[in-house]
Amino acid sequence: MTKESLEKRLEKVNGKIDDTGDPLEKVELIQSRLDIEKALDEVTSADDLMSLQRGFIEHASAYSERKGVSYTAWREAGVPAAILREAGIKETRRR
C-alpha cells in the first residue's frame, strides 16, 4: 500500500467514526484507524530509511576519504556491506 492510499483510508475511517451511532461499530472503526496508522508509520519509516540510504550512498565515499574512515569502521558501526559497495567504499584489510 502507498502512503497516499493509506491516508485516504484513514480519512474515510475517521469520517465513519464520527458518523456512527453504534458503539460496537465505533470500536471496530477505531481499531481500523489504529491499524491504518500503524501501517502508515511503517511506510513512512521505510521511506525515511530509503532516503537516508540514498544520501549515505551519495556522500559516504567522499566523506570517508576526507575523514579517513575505513570500510572496517563503517562495518563495525553497522553499515551493511551491500550499502558500502553501492557507495563505492572498498573493503580494506586490517593491519
In angstroms, how far is CA 1 from the centroid of its own chain? 14
- Has residue 95 got a pLDDT over 60? no
Specify the pLDDT at position 94.
59
Mean of per-residue pLDDT scores for the chain? 92
pLDDT tens digits for range 8-54 = 999 999 999 999 999 999 999 999 999 999 999 988 888 888 889 99
75-85 pLDDT per residue, tens: 999 999 999 99
- Local structure of residue 95 (DSSP, 8 states): -
Predicted local confidence at residue 32, as pLDDT: 97
DSSP letter, residue 78: T
Domain ranges of the chain: 3-87
- Give helix 3-19 / helix 23-67 axis angle, nearest 10°: 150
- pTM over the 0.75 mark: no
